[in-house]
Amino acid sequence: MAARLPRPPRFDLWAALAGLVGGLLLWGSGLGLRKAGDPQVLFDGGGPLLVPLALMSGCELLRRTAPRTALLTGTLALAADLTTQGSIATIVMYTDLMYAAVLYGPPTTARRLPWITGMLSIAATLVPFAVLRVPEALLIGVVTGAVTFTPASTGLIVRNHREAADAALLRAEQTALLAEMDRTQAVTAERARMARELHDMVANHLSAIAIHSTAALSLDDAATTRQALGVIRENSVAGLAEMRRLIGILRDDGGDTEPAAAPTLDGLNALIDAARSNGLDVTLDADAGENLPAPVELAAYRIVQESLTNALKHGSKGAVRVRLDRHDGALRIRVTSPYGDRDTPLAPGSGAGLVGMRERAALLHGTFEAGPVAGPGAAGDKIWAVRATLPLTEGDLA
């Protein structure tokens, strides 16, 4: 089944109708481009010019849906019009077909027609002048250029402007899409950062509260209960202070209230003391040096904090060792704790601690490992080892 041409736009219908009506009015008034009896007129009388006029009007219906077919058929109609007295309406409609062929046609047509019509206009100027040797012969080239080259070049200019506008619109849409992607990624990264901060801040204190509250409820001893309540209060106050610090950061709007500074390695001793008050036997060996980048200090502090929290919840009784040293332009962290066979942790956990530590190391282009390893003691002893290496360069703020 043959493909049907799309329906012409309404503007093309009106253009075809206007050209046909205008040509009929000129024919009815007896106005032609050439007088009857002119040697160039092969078909004398006004009637024959109606055939190319009607054909050219039909081509106007195809000026956008089939521009190359319309131009080819219109060229034949124009040639036929030259054998009659001629109609200005036919010529005007042909210039529109030439313009539409360049504007709406394929890119190859848009590139070639201005060159072809330009060469044709030059030839129509030089050849008649060389043959006739009269200045009036130059008018043939002028008319040819006005009918062919002028509408073709005009169509090319308009097409280039439209393509430039479309390209600018596409670039703007792509820029908006990239901006939206960047915004989404920034929001996702910020949410992940806040999740790490909330987990690392709260998990340590709440784990200690859960463990000591369990001990206070399970042991019927006033001294033990009082000691547990003291630890619970201490961790509650510390956790509340950390939460206020984070809320201060979130609500900081440049006013007079300054949020508390993020924790640094200077606070490791206080962190170790808090872990010892929670029942851990912790030793610290820190030789990190000075002038560490702030993101590295924050990441190292949080990794040690989460490692101590995991030792409190999952580890067995025994020594917990924390070591930090600076080597080959990187800060190395190692935290080891006894690894027992406890079925359930002393306090519930979400499993996000290891994920958060790994993310902190990755954001600083460092490495992270955690898992059970063979201990230095008797055969069968195991320890849980956390190892991280953080390059001492400014990375993404963890």
Give 115-183 as a DSSP string. HHHHHHHHHHHHHHHHHH-SGGGHHHHHHHIIIIIHHHHHHHHHHHHHHHHHHHHHHHHHHHHHHHHHH
Cβ neighbours, 10 Å, residue 152: 28
Q: What is the pLDDT of residue 384?
A: 87
Q: How far apart are CA 55 and CA 68, in angstroms?
A: 15
> Which residues lie below 8 Å from residue 279, measured CB to CB, with a gap of 6+?
211, 312
Q: What is the pLDDT of residue 213?
A: 73
| Most confidently predicted of 209-213, 244-248, 329-333 | 329-333
Q: How far apart are CA 266 and CA 11, in angstroms?
A: 79
Q: Does domain 264-398 have CATH number 3.30.565.10?
A: yes
Of 295, 281, 286, 300, which Cα lies nearest the Cα of 386? 300
Band (219; pLDDT cuts 50, 70, 90): low
Q: How far apart are CA 177 and CA 174, in angstroms?
A: 5
Q: What is the pLDDT of residue 215?
A: 63
The arrangement of strands across the sheet holding 281-287 comes to 281-287, 319-327, 330-338, 382-391, 367-374
Task: Tell me what the mean pLDDT of segment 239-253 comes to.
Answer: 66
Cα end-to-end distance, the chain, whole Å: 66
Confirm if 96 and 63 have CB atoms less than 8 A apart.
yes
Q: Mind listing the pLDDT tens digit for each residue in 87-110?
A: 899 999 999 999 999 999 999 999
Task: Tell me what the mean pLDDT of segment 315-322 comes to.
Answer: 84
Q: How far apart are CA 250 and CA 229, in angstroms?
A: 31
CA torsion through residues 346, 352, 358, 360, sign: negative
Q: What is the pLDDT of residue 121?
A: 92
The DSSP 8-state label assigned to residue 44 in this structure reads -
**Amino acid letter, 56:** M
| Tokens linked to 145 | 């250029």
Q: Mind listing the pLDDT tens digit for each residue in 324-376?
A: 998 888 999 999 988 765 555 555 555 677 888 888 888 888 999 988 887 66
Band (168; pLDDT cuts 50, 70, 90): very high
Give residue 203's Cα distance to chain centre.
Answer: 36
Confirm if 337 and 315 have CB atoms less than 8 A apart.
yes
Q: Which residues of 240-261 are buried (b: 16+ CB within 10 A; e: fewer)?
A: eebeebbeeeeeeeeeeeeeee
| Tokens linked to 168 | 């600018």
Residue of 310 and 260 predicted with greater confidence = 310
Of 25, 13, 26, 91, which Cα lies nearest the Cα of 52? 91
Q: How far apart are CA 357 and CA 384, in angstroms?
A: 15
**Amino acid letter, 232:** I
Q: What is the pLDDT of residue 218?
A: 67
Q: How far apart are CA 339 and CA 383, in angstroms?
A: 5
Q: 99-108, 161-170, 277-286: which has the minimum mean pLDDT?
A: 277-286
Q: Which helix (H) or strand (E) holds 281?
A: strand 281-287
Q: Which residues of 89-124 are buried (b: 16+ CB within 10 A; e: fewer)?
A: bbbebbbbbbbbbbbbbeeebbeebbeebeebbeeb
> Which residues lie below 8 Å from residue 307, measured CB to CB, with a gap of 6+?
322, 335, 337, 357, 386
Domain ranges of the chain: 10-173, 264-398
Q: How far apart are CA 222 and CA 229, in angstroms?
A: 10
Average pLDDT in the chain: 81
Share of the chain above pLDDT 70, in %: 76
pLDDT at 208 over 80: no
Confirm if 353 and 388 have CB atoms less than 8 A apart.
no
